[in-house]
Homo-oligomer: A and B are copies of this chain.
């Protein structure tokens, strides 16, 4: 059994062996970033049992291995924004805080999921005026329950996104998957929109670091687009590994122990949350979303269960 944090690198592909259990983030249904195709193929050819952390999901939709990372990333996006708004970092010199007699900084967050909610909490805590742009009505009401009157929520549409870019001192993209069902749609936010609409000295943080959503390339360092500082640093949680690592380990442990105790077959059969994370079994794609994204043949896990009913 291999328990990893990051998806296997090409040099690790030859090490994968048939029947071995691999626990890892795989991200095979996300983004346009190259490389995942090769990973999918390696996972098929090796014949490993591959379980994707990010797909394990409880009945109420909670993703226990994604939540800690999302919470951390959302929090850090605001800390980084607050730092890069300072004058020595070429920012406009705004404080994400509340000083009597001075209107507070405007923080606009696109997306009210775990990352966006975490960013909103942090920005509110620091004292900003916070606007969340969210397209799901159900979620808008949950945000209202969570934040009460402290946050402004607006419905996500092009006009409100543009308005948000214009007024933001700090704009955070916390949208990860944008309507994949509608195929290869254009990015929600283009480089030109950032450059032309945002204020001089403002900061744009892209937590998703996915060009399919925001048309900017990820980079380990902040950079400028026009007069705007852009932060699109991949894997923010690794910056605070002392917290991120045990948070992830705690969350993985029960699943690893269950597989160790019962074997993978019994474990996924009895634990539907874990089953949702199962991507590959001995060369077959057993997750429908992965099959569709990677344009591979789908093999329902039910078939395995039926064949091995007496296990």
Which residues of chain B have C-beta atoms less than 8 A from A244's C-beta? 93, 95, 99
Which residues of chain B have C-beta atoms less than 8 A from A122's C-beta? 97, 126
Quick one: given A122-B126, A125-B126, are A99 and B143 in contact (CB under 8 Å)?
Answer: no
Quick one: given A92-B242, A122-B126, are A103 and B154 in contact (CB under 8 Å)?
Answer: yes
Which residues of chain B have C-beta atoms less than 8 A from A172's C-beta? none
Query: Helix, strand, loop or mixed for chain A's interface?
Result: helix
Q: Is the CB of B254 within 8 A of A100?
A: no
Give CA–CA (A76, B125) in the complex, Å.
Answer: 14
Which residues of chain B have C-beta atoms less than 8 A from A145's C-beta? 146
Q: Is the CB of B99 within 8 A of A72?
A: yes
Q: Is the CB of A103 within 8 A of B152?
A: yes
Give CA–CA (A131, B133) in the complex, Å.
Answer: 23
Quick one: given A62-B138, A137-B254, A254-B137, are A68 and B99 in contact (CB under 8 Å)?
Answer: yes
The stretch that binds B, out of A82-90, A224-232, A282-290, is: A82-90
* Interface set of A (CB-CB < 8 Å, partner B): 58, 60, 62, 64, 67-68, 71-72, 75-76, 79-80, 82-83, 85-88, 92-104, 122, 124-127, 129, 134-135, 137-138, 140-141, 143-146, 148-150, 152-155, 238-244, 246-247, 250-251, 253-254
Query: Can you list 5 A-B pairs, Cβ within 8 angstroms, ordered by A?
Result: A60-B138, A62-B141, A87-B240, A93-B239, A135-B254
Which residues of chain B have C-beta atoms less than 8 A from A239's C-beta? 86-88, 93
Given contacts A72-B97, A80-B83, 7 further A-B contacts (CB under 8 A): A62-B141, A64-B138, A67-B141, A75-B95, A79-B96, A101-B134, A150-B150
Give CA–CA (A65, B85) in the complex, Å.
Answer: 24
Q: Is the CB of B247 within 8 A of A85?
A: no
Q: Is the CB of A101 within 8 A of B250?
A: yes
Q: Is the CB of A246 within 8 A of B76?
A: no
Q: Is the CB of A87 within 8 A of B241?
A: yes
Which residues of chain B have C-beta atoms less than 8 A from A94's C-beta? 240, 242-243
Q: Is the CB of A243 within 8 A of B138?
A: no
A-B residue pairs, 3 tightest by C-beta: A125-B125, A100-B140, A93-B242
Q: Is the CB of A98 within 8 A of B64?
A: no
Q: Is the CB of A68 within 8 A of B100?
A: yes
Give CA–CA (A141, B229) in the complex, Å.
Answer: 32
Q: Is the CB of B86 within 8 A of A137?
A: no
Which residues of chain B have C-beta atoms less than 8 A from A250's C-beta? 101-102, 137, 140, 155
Closest chain-B Cβ to A55's Cβ sits at a distance in Å of 15
Which residues of chain B have C-beta atoms less than 8 A from A146's C-beta? 145
